[in-house]
Chains A and B, each alone.
Chain A
Amino acid sequence: MRARLQLALVIGLLLAAVLGIGAWSAGEDARYLNPVEMAQSADGRSLYVVCEKSDELRVVDIASGKVIKQIAVGHVPTGISLSPDGKQIYVANSWSDNVSVIDTSTLSVARSVPAGFEPISAVSDLEGRTLYTANRLSNDISVIDLASGKETKRLVAGRGASYLTLSPDGKQIYCTHIYPNIGKFRTPPESEITVIDTATQDVIERNPLHNVAGVFHLASSNDGKLSVVAQLKPKNLIPLAHVEHGWAFVDTLTIFGEDAGQTVQVPIDELERYFARPFGVAISPDKSKIFVSSGGAGIVTVIDSQRLLTFARSQHQPFANDLSASANYVVARIPVGPDPRGVLLSSDGKRLYVANRLSDAIDVIDTDKNEIVQSLDLGGPQIISANRRGERLFYNAKFAFQGQFSCANCHLDSTFDGMNWDLEPDGFGKDVVDNRSIEDLSGTEPFKWNGGNPNLQTECGPRTEKFFYRSQSYNEQELADLDTYIFSIPLRPNRYRLPDGQLTPQQERGKAIFERTVTKARKPIPESNQCAFCHSGPKYTNRQLADVGSGKAIDRSSLIDTPHLPDIAYSAPYLHDGSARSMEEIWTVFNPHDTHGVTNDLTKDELNDLIEYLRTL
C-alpha cells in the first residue's frame, strides 16, 4: 500500500512537472494572460479581450462564458476597438509599434499597420477611414489611412499619450496621458486632454488638467453631454510624510461637458479609505451611473451621475481634496479581482465587464444589483507563481495606510511617473529625488539615489513599511515574491537602435565620445570623470557613488548612486532630483565645471552625437 502511494506520488509529481503544475522557481514563470481591455462584438455575442502578457486576443462566447478563440497579435497588446461596422478589430501592440487588424468574420489577423513608439490604444473615426493611435513613448498620435495602411501624419500630444476615446457624435477624439508634461523643476504636474477634430485630423484643443498626473480612461455619455476621466492627483511637492493625513495621492475624476458646465475634479476616495489608481470608466446608456475601476483597490466604484452633477454644481471651491465629498455621489463599491483595468458596458447597460488583469478573468457585474453575477475564466494558468504573487503585491494598495497607494502608483505600469518626490526618510525638504525606471534592475544594486539600499529586500522592505506605507508591510515571503517580480520586469524595446543592432555614424561618433579618455586638446581625462568609467558594465553603472556636481543645497550629500542607463531616452527628467528636463540639460545647464564627465570642450554637434548614442543604450 505504501509502495503504491509512493508510486502515485512520483507519477503525480512527474505529471505536475509535465503539465506545468507546481511551484515555480524565480527564473520560471507561467504564461499568464493579463487581460487589460475589452470590446464587444457587433452582435453582442462575443467579448474580445486583449491579453497583454500572452500577446493575444481571446474571444469569449458570452452566453457560454467560454474562450472560443485565441488570436496571436503583436508584442504586449494594450488597446482594442472595433471598426464602426463591426467587421474589424483594432489591437494596439505597444511593443511592436503597430496595430493588428483582425477580421471579425474569420477571427484572424488580416494585416498590421505601423504606428509610433509604443501605441497603447487605437480607435477609428466613424467612417472607418482613419485610425488613430496614442503613442506613449513618442508622445504623439498617429493618423493612419486605413485604405493604404500608411501613417499619414503625427499629431503632437502630451507626454505619455495613452488612451483614446471617440466622442459619441464622432466629431472628436480625446487623448489622455499617463505621464505629466515636462515642466519646470518642482512645479505642479500638468497634464492635458488632447482633442482632435476628426474632420480635419488636427489637434484643435488642449484642455489642461492641473495638478494631475497619471490620467487613464475617458468615457462620454451617449448624448455627449457628460465626459468623465479617471486620474491620479499626486501631492509630490510636499514631503511624503503625511500619508496618515492623505498627503500622497487623491484618486479623482475630471468631469466636463454640457452637463457639468465647467471642468471639475472630483474625488472618489473616502475619508478613511482610498480607491487607488482609477483606470477604467464607463457611463450607463441612460447616463444615470458612472462606473470606475480602481486597480490598486480591486474595486469598481458606482457613482450616481445626477447626484454627482448636483453636488459639483453646488460647490464654489475646488473640492478634489475634500474626501467627504464622495459620500454625496458614490452609491456602491463592488469588490472585483486583482488589478481591475478596462471596463465595458453591454449595449443595454445591464452588464458591466471588468478585466481583472492579475487573475486572468473577467468579472461580470449586474448593474441593477451592483454585484458580480459571473466570472469568466480566460484560461490562464491556475498556479500562482512567486512572480505572479509579486506582481499582485506590486499593484495592490492594501499595504499602504487606508489603501492609499501601491508601488504601481509611482511606477505606473511598472515604469516611472515622470515626477520627483520629497521622501520623508531624508528629512523634510531634503533630498528631492527623481523617480527612476525599474526595468531590468538585476545587477544595478545598490538602490536609492544615495545608494543606501544594498538590495531590493531593503529597498522594498522596512523602508517601504516605515516611510511609505505607514501600515502593514510585506512578510518575508511577500517581500521575496515582490523582489522576484521587480527583477523580472523586462527592458522595453529600444527604438533608437537600428534593427541589426548596428550604430549609425552619428551614434558611432557619440560612442567614441562616451568612451574617450582624453579631451579634444589631448589632455587626459581622469578615469573617474570618463563617461564609460562610472557608466560601465552591462547596465552602464559601476554601482558606485560619485559626486558629479549636481548636488543642490537641499541635498544631504553630494554623492550620488551611478544610475543604470538602459532605455534612458524615455525616462526624463534626469539627474538625481529630476532637475534636468532633457538629456541636453544634464550637460548644458548642470555641468558647468566638467564634473559630470568632460563635456565643455564639445561642440553642439558632438554633444548631439553623445546624446544620440545614449539613446541607443
Chain B
Amino acid sequence: MRTRTYSIALFFIASFSCLLLSQDMPRYRWQNFTTANGLPNDHVYSVLVDGSRIWAGTDNGLGLFEGGKWKVFRPSDGLAHQAVLSLALDKRTGDVWAATLGGLSRISAGRIDSFTQLNSGLPNDVVYGVGVLGDYVWVATAAGGGRLNTRTNQWSLYNERNTPMYEIWTYAVCPAPDKVYYAVWGGGVLEYDVQTQRWKDYNDPDGETEMVVLKDQGLIHEITTSVSYVDKVLWVATYFGASRYDGRYWHNFLTKDSGLPSNFLNQVKAVDANRAWFSTDKGLAYYDGANWSIYRPALDTHKPEMLVRDAAGNITNVAVDTAPAHNYILGVDFQGDDLWVATAEGLSHGTRQK
C-alpha cells in the first residue's frame, strides 16, 4: 500500500514536472506560406533570415519575402538553376549566396552573378551546400568541396586527391573561424583546421550502415546530411540519427533513446553548445540540452501538434492550434526568438509565444 502510494505520488510529481516543463519549452504560433500567397514553389529546400528579409530556396526559384511581399528570382533573372538547395548570408556585405542544382549564385543588391563548372573554378554544378566566412565562400558539391576567394576569384578544390575524402559527395558545409566542417554523404564528416590547413575525417566507428554497435564512441552514421559548429561543439545530422561532438566526447541521438521524432534528418542547426534544432521527416525537433519538443502536424490526424519529452522520457502533448506546413522539414533559421522553417509543403514562420 505504501509502495503504491509512493508510486502514485511519483507519477503525479513526474506529471506535474512535465506539465511545468511543457510550459518552459518554446511555443510558437505558426503562419504558413505557399504558392497561394506568393511563395515561388511549395517545396522549400532552404530558408535564410537576413534581418527583416526572408529568403526561401525552393524547387522552382528563390523567393525573397520583404515588406509583406514575395519577390521571385529564377534562371531568367540570372540564377544558376531554379532549384535552390542551400543559402548563406555574407553578414559583412549583405550578399546572399545560393547553392543550386546548376551552380552557385551570388545575389548582391539585386544583381545575380552565377558561377558554374563551365565558367569558373566551381568543382561541380550540383551544389548542395554553401557557407560564407570572411573573404571565403565554401561550397559542398557532388564532386567535392570548394572554396572561392572572393578577393581574387581563385578557387581551391577539396576532394579525394588532397583530403581524406573517400566519398566526394559533399552535402553541407559549415565554416567557422577555427574549423570548417563538411558533411560528406556516405563519407562521414570532414574537418579542416584553418590554422594548420590540415584535414581530418570522422567516421562511424562500427562501420555498420544500418545498425549502431558502438554508440557514443563516434559519429552515428556515415550518411551525413548536415553539420553545425557552434561554441566549439559539432552537431551532425545523418539519415540514421544525430551526433554531438565536443572535441573529446561523442553523444549520439536516436529515436529510441531521445526525443528525436525520426532518425532521418535533413538538417541540424545549433543554437549554442547545448541546444539545437533538428529537421526530420517526421517533424521539427528542439533539444535544450535535456528535454525535447516536437512541432508538426500530427502524423495521423494532421492536426497541429506539440509534444514535449523530458529527460526522463515522459511525454506531454501540449495543446496548440497551429503547426508547421508539413512534417517533412528540410531546414530552419532563426529570427531572434522566431523561427523560419523550410518544409516539403511550404514555408513556415513560427512566432514565439510568451
- B152-A496 in contact (CB<8A): yes
- B120-A156 in contact (CB<8A): no
> Which residues of A are found within 8 Å of B108, using beta-carbon distances?
156, 203, 206
Which listed residue, B92, B113, B124, B154, touches A612 by the CB 8 Å rule? B154
Provide the bound-state CA to CA distance between A195 and B109, in Å: 9
By beta carbon, the residue of chain B nearest A205 is B109
Provide the bound-state CA to CA distance between A351 and B352, in Å: 63
- A582-B157 in contact (CB<8A): no
Chain B 68-110 interface mask (CB, 8 Å, partner A; 1/0): 0000000000000000000000001111000000000010111
Chain A 599-614 interface mask (CB, 8 Å, partner B; 1/0): 0000011011001100
- In the complex where A156-B106, A192-B111, A608-B155 touch, is A588 in contact with B121 (Cβ < 8 A)? no
Which listed residue, B95, B119, B143, B159, touches A156 by the CB 8 Å rule? B95
By beta carbon, the residue of chain B nearest A582 is B119
- B121-A584 in contact (CB<8A): yes
- In the complex where A156-B95, A192-B111, A604-B143 touch, is A116 in contact with B117 (Cβ < 8 A)? no
- B152-A203 in contact (CB<8A): no
Interface size class of chain A, counting residues whose CB lies under 8 Å from the partner chain: 20 to 34
- A204-B109 in contact (CB<8A): yes
Chain A 182-218 interface mask (CB, 8 Å, partner B; 1/0): 0000000000101100001011111000000000000
How far is the CB of B103 from the nearest CB of chain A, in Å? Answer: 12
Q: Which residues 117-134 of B sit at the A interface, judged by CB distance below 8 A?
A: 117-121, 123-124
Which listed residue, A140, A152, A611, touches B121 by the CB 8 Å rule? A611
- In the complex where A155-B93, A604-B124, A604-B157 touch, is A584 in contact with B119 (Cβ < 8 A)? yes
How far is the CB of A174 from the nearest CB of chain B, in Å? Answer: 13
- A588-B117 in contact (CB<8A): yes
- A138-B152 in contact (CB<8A): yes
- A152-B92 in contact (CB<8A): yes
> Which residues of B are found within 8 Å of A589, using beta-carbon distances?
118
> Which residues of A are found within 8 Å of B161, using beta-carbon distances?
605
> Which residues of B are found within 8 Å of A202, using beta-carbon distances?
93-94, 109
> Which residues of A are found within 8 Å of B117, using beta-carbon distances?
588, 604
Is the CB of B151 closer than 8 A to any CB of chain A? yes
- B110-A206 in contact (CB<8A): yes
> Which residues of B are found within 8 Å of A194, using beta-carbon distances?
109
Provide the bound-state CA to CA distance between A156 and B90, in Å: 12
> Which residues of A are found within 8 Å of B156, using beta-carbon distances?
506
Q: Which residues 406-425 of A sit at the B interface, judged by CB distance below 8 A?
A: none
How far is the CB of B195 from the nearest CB of chain A, in Å? Answer: 19
Is the CB of B135 closer than 8 A to any CB of chain A? yes
> Which residues of B are found within 8 Å of A605, using beta-carbon distances?
123, 157, 159, 161
- B118-A588 in contact (CB<8A): yes
- A205-B110 in contact (CB<8A): yes
Provide the bound-state CA to CA distance between A192 and B108, in Å: 13
By beta carbon, the residue of chain A nearest B117 is A604
Is the CB of B150 closer than 8 A to any CB of chain A? yes
Provide the bound-state CA to CA distance between A585 and B122, in Å: 12
- A585-B119 in contact (CB<8A): yes
Is the CB of A154 closer than 8 A to any CB of chain B? yes
- B94-A203 in contact (CB<8A): yes
- B119-A581 in contact (CB<8A): yes
Which listed residue, A203, A496, A604, touches B109 by the CB 8 Å rule? A203
> Which residues of A are found within 8 Å of B159, using beta-carbon distances?
605
Chain A 110-126 interface mask (CB, 8 Å, partner B; 1/0): 00000010000000000
How far is the CB of A293 from the nearest CB of chain B, in Å? Answer: 30
How far is the CB of A384 from the nearest CB of chain B, in Å? Answer: 41
Q: Which residues 122-171 of A sit at the B interface, judged by CB distance below 8 A?
A: 138, 140, 152-156
- A206-B109 in contact (CB<8A): yes
Which listed residue, B118, B135, B155, B157, touches A585 by the CB 8 Å rule? B118
Provide the bound-state CA to CA distance between A294 and B189, in Å: 60
> Which residues of A are found within 8 Å of B118, using beta-carbon distances?
584-585, 588-589
- A203-B93 in contact (CB<8A): yes
How far is the CB of A375 from the nearest CB of chain B, in Å? Answer: 43
- In the complex where A154-B135, A205-B109 touch, is A608 in contact with B150 (Cβ < 8 A)? no
Provide the bound-state CA to CA distance between A155 and B106, in Å: 12
- A206-B119 in contact (CB<8A): no
- A153-B120 in contact (CB<8A): no
Provide the bound-state CA to CA distance between A192 and B113, in Å: 14
> Which residues of B are found within 8 Å of A205, using beta-carbon distances?
109-110
Provide the bound-state CA to CA distance between A154 and B159, in Å: 28
Provide the bound-state CA to CA distance between A384 and B161, in Å: 59
Most chain B C-beta atoms within 10 Å of own C-beta, residue among A203, A495, A581, A605: A605
How far is the CB of B106 from the nearest CB of chain A, in Å? Answer: 7
Provide the bound-state CA to CA distance between A582 and B120, in Å: 7
> Which residues of A are found within 8 Å of B113, using beta-carbon distances?
156
By beta carbon, the residue of chain B nearest A608 is B121
27 A-B residue contacts at CB 8 Å?
A: A138-B152, A153-B92, A156-B108, A156-B111, A192-B111, A200-B94, A202-B94, A202-B109, A203-B108, A204-B94, A205-B110, A206-B108, A206-B111, A582-B120, A584-B118, A584-B121, A588-B117, A588-B118, A588-B119, A589-B118, A604-B121, A604-B143, A605-B123, A607-B121, A608-B155, A611-B121, A615-B154
Enumerate chain A interface residues (CB-CB to B < 8 A).
116, 138, 140, 152-156, 192, 194-195, 200, 202-206, 495-496, 506, 581-582, 584-585, 588-589, 604-605, 607-608, 611-612, 615
Q: Which 5 A-B pairs have the closest CB atoms?
A: A588-B118, A202-B94, A203-B109, A153-B92, A608-B121
Known: A153-B93, A584-B120, A584-B121. 17 other contacts (CB 8 A): A138-B152, A140-B151, A154-B135, A194-B109, A203-B109, A204-B94, A206-B108, A206-B109, A585-B119, A588-B117, A589-B118, A604-B121, A604-B123, A604-B157, A605-B157, A608-B157, A611-B121
